[in-house]
Amino acid sequence: MDLSKPIDLNIHAEDGADEVLEVLKPYLV
């Protein structure tokens, strides 16, 4: 159970990072 939690968090973190990057693209450029 405890091992599955970090994995899920990592997946969500990666998805969240992609979304954040897409939102920040206009500002970074």
Predicted local confidence at residue 28, as pLDDT? 74
pTM score, two decimals? 0.36
What's the total number of domains in the chain?
A: 1
Task: Read off the amino acid at residue 9.
Answer: L
Tallying the residues shown for the chain, one arrives at 29
Predicted local confidence at residue 1, as pLDDT? 52
Predicted local confidence at residue 18, as pLDDT? 81
Domain span including residue 7: 1-29
Taking only the tens of pLDDT, the chain with its 29 residues reads 566 666 666 666 667 778 888 888 888 77
Dist. CA 15–CA 9, nearest whole Å: 10
